[in-house]
Amino acid sequence: MHDINCFVPNCQSRPYAPAGTQSVCKDHFINFLTWRRRRGPQMFLKYAAMTMQDRDAIAAEWQKTIRVDEAPSNSPKV
């Protein structure tokens, strides 16, 4: 987790947790967890057993659901 910023476009917040091989800020990480939870309880078990490359595919799928202009409340405006 060596990223300088969250990997979500237009988000300048510091990394908080991994999402695959990339990092996301705290607000986007909570959004990512909520998105996975809505996909069903089996997603948590499945995600835990995935390799990092497989997790990248899930993170990329989640990233498509985020509006590009959406920024966490604590991030500086770009």
What would the pLDDT profile of 30-61 be if each residue is shown by its tens digit? 999 999 989 888 887 888 889 988 999 999 99
Please give the residue range of the domain that contains residue 28.
17-63
Residue 39 lies in a domain: yes
- The residues, ordered by sequence, that sit 6+ positions from 14 with a Cβ below 8 Å of its Cβ are 5, 6, 25
- 22-24 and 17-19 as β-strands: parallel, antiparallel, unpaired? antiparallel
Query: Which residue do the tokens 């920024």 mark?
Result: 71
Residue 68 lies in a domain: no
Model confidence, pTM: 0.75
Q: Is the dihedral of CA 37, 59, 2, 68 positive or negative?
A: negative
Residue 43 lies in a domain: yes
Quote the pLDDT of residue 40: 85
Structural domain tally of the chain? 1
Residue 62: pLDDT band with limits 50, 70, 90? very high
SS3 content of the chain, % helix, strand, coil (to 5): 40, 10, 50
Residue 25: pLDDT band with limits 50, 70, 90? very high
